[in-house]
Chains A and B, each alone.
Chain A
C-alpha cells in the first residue's frame, strides 16, 4: 500500500547517510590533522601562547598519569595550566590580570561538552575551560531534530507528489483514501524518526573521534527528545497540508517554508516597540506564529548562559509540547481531508 513511500524514504535516508558519513570522514581528517599540528595541544590559543617568545613552558606528568603543561608569560602576565586527561578531555586554567570595569565577576557558558567559567577575584581573573564535561543528551537530540526537520521538508509533499501524475495508481488501490493517507503519513514519520536516530548515532561516532562522549540524561532531555520529534511531525504535517491539493509547484512551498517560518518566528519574538511599523509587523506576524511549528522549537538545555537556556525561539515555553502536538494533529487531518477530495 505504501511501497512507493518506503522507496522515497529509502532514497532520502540514503542521502542523509551519505552526508553524515561524509561528515564523519571530514571530522576524522580534521582530527588527524590536529594530531600532527606539532604540539600535544590542539587549541590554537594555547599553542600561540606556548610558542610566544616570552613564554616559559614546562611539561610534567602527575602521579595519576595526567600530563600537565604549565605556561608562564610574564610579559603578558598570563599563567596557564593545562591538564591533558587523554580521552577524558582537557582542563585548562588561565590566570591573568583582571581588566578594568569587568561587570560580571562570575560568568559561565556551557555549550555541549565545552564548559567555560570565568571568575574575577581582586586583580586576577581565572578562566577555566573544560573540554569534556558531561553533557546533556538533549544537545544531540536538538541537532537530530534539526536534521529531522530537513528530512521532514524533503518528504513533506507526499500527496502533491501523487497528484503530480500518479493518482491513477494511488487511488485505484483497494484501500480507502483515508487509510492510504494516514498510512503514508505514518510511513513518512517513521522515516523522519529513522533520520533522527541516524543523526544521533552519527553524533556519537563524531564525538568519539574527538574524545570520549560523556552524557547526562534527565527529564529535560526526555522532554527535548519528545519536543523535537513532535516538532518534526508538526512541521512535516504542515507541509503536507499546505501541498496536499497541489498538482505541481509544490517545490516552491517546500523551498520557501524554512525562510518564511523563521522570519515569522523571529519577527514575532522581537520586541518592535520602537516604531509604529514595527508594532504593525509584530501584530501581524504574532498570530501567524501561533500556527508556525518553528515558534515552539528551541534548543533548551543544550546551550546555556549563566545556567539559563539560551537560543529559545519558543513563544510559550509551558505550551510548546501540547501546541506542537495539536498542530501535528490538525495539519495531518487537513492534509488527509484534502487527499480525500483530489481528482485526477
Chain B
C-alpha cells in the first residue's frame, strides 16, 4: 500500500502553464477520481507523477520517497491514448510485460483479455480504439501493482466493458491497492471513486471525499417577486460559494449551513425556497464553470 504526496507541482510548456501549484495527498487503498475539463492538466499531472514530464517546481513522493526506477515495479499506468506497438501482437505485449515487471501475471492478463473479448494473436494495428484501451487496461491490472494510474481507462469501450473496468477498479481497491483515474464519465467516477479532485486550468479547484462533498454542498433556491432585489449580505457569507441568477430565480451554492442560508434568503424577500441535493456532476460543473456570469449578482448582493 502506498500514499502519494504531491506538493506545489508546476509544469509549463513554453508560455503555457499546464499545471500550477497543484498539491494533493492520495491516501493508500483508495479509489481516487481526478476530474477536469479538457486541457485542465490531468494528463500532465499524471505524467509528472510518473517522471514522464519534468515539473518546473514541486515534489512527488511515494510513501515519503521520491520516484526511483524501482518504484515502477509497484505502479501500473494506462495512458489516455494507445501506446501499444502497432506491429506487435497482443501476446507479444503480454510477453513484454512479463519480462519487464516482476509481479506481472501472464495468466491473469490472458483471462482479462478474454473477458474483454480481445484475441491475443492479433496485431495492435488491427484493433479498434476500444480494444486497444482494453488491452492496456488488462496489462495494467495483470501487473499486481500497488498503485494504478489510469488516464481515461474507459475511453472507447462499450458500456459493458466500461462497467467491467469499473468493477476491476473497485476490486483493486478492495485488495488494498490505490487506483487514481481520470474520466469524463462523471457517473463512473461517482460510482467508483471515494475521493475526487477537480482540476481546472492547471489548478486544483476542489478536493475531498465524494460523500462529504455531496453531504456538505447544497443548492438553496429562491424566487423573488421582481427582477430587482437585494440579497441582504448573503453574498458575503463565506459559506456561499457561488450565486447564479436567472431573472427572478436565485440559486446559491452553499458548502455548509444550508438551512440557515435558506432562512436568510427568505428574509430577503424570496419565496418558494428549496434546498436541493447535488450529484457529482453538479459539483463538478459548479467547480469548473466560469464565474463571470455571477459577478454582477455578487456585486449586487455585496452592495445590499
Interface residues of A (CB under 8 A from B): 1, 3-4, 7, 11, 165-169, 171-177, 343-344
Contacts and interface: CB of A to CB of B under 8 A. Distances in A.
B100 A174 contact: yes
A172 B77 contact: yes
Given A4-B85, A4-B88, A168-B83, A173 B72 contact: yes
6 contacts: A169-B83, A171-B51, A172-B50, A343-B52, A343-B54, A344-B52
Given A1-B100, A174-B100, A176-B69, A167 B92 contact: no
B43 to A, nearest CB: 9
Contacts of A169: 83, 85, 96
Nearest to A176: B69
A177 B54 CA distance: 14
A169 B124 CA distance: 14
Interface in B135-173: none
A4 B83 contact: no
A165 B83 contact: yes
A177 B50 CA distance: 13
Contacts of A4: 85, 88, 96
Contacts of A343: 47, 52-54
B88 A173 contact: no
A166 B100 CA distance: 15
Given A168-B50, A174-B71, A344-B47, 5 more contacts: A1-B99, A7-B88, A172-B50, A174-B73, A176-B69
A172 B75 contact: yes
B269 interface: no
A167 B52 CA distance: 8
Contacts, number: 60
B39 to A, nearest CB: 17
Interface string B38-54: 00000000010011111
A172 B70 CA distance: 10
A142 B113 CA distance: 49
B115 interface: no
B236 interface: no
B95 interface: yes
Nearest to A165: B83
B88 A172 contact: no
Nearest to B100: A173
B21 interface: no
Contacts of A11: 87
Of A1, A171, A174, A176, most buried by chain B (CB within 10 Å of CB) is A174
Nearest to A1: B100
* The 6 residue pairs across chains A and B that have the minimum distance between CB atoms: A344-B52, A174-B73, A174-B72, A168-B79, A168-B83, A173-B100
A94 B263 CA distance: 122
A4 B87 CA distance: 10
Contact of B101 (A166, A167, A173, A176): A173
A174 B47 contact: no
Nearest to B98: A3
B72 A172 contact: yes
Contact of A3 (B69, B73, B100, B102): B100
B101 A174 contact: yes
B69 A174 contact: yes
Interface string B75-96: 1010101110101100010011
A343 B54 CA distance: 7
Given A174-B100, A343-B53, A166 B75 contact: no
A3 B83 contact: no
B224 to A, nearest CB: 53
Given A4-B96, A7-B92, A175 B85 contact: no
A174 B100 CA distance: 7
A171 B50 CA distance: 9
A4 B274 CA distance: 61
A168 B77 contact: yes
Contacts of A3: 92, 95-96, 99-100
Contacts of A7: 88, 92
Contact of B53 (A175, A176, A344): A344
A177 B69 CA distance: 8
Contacts of B51: 171
Nearest to B73: A174
Contacts of A167: 52, 83
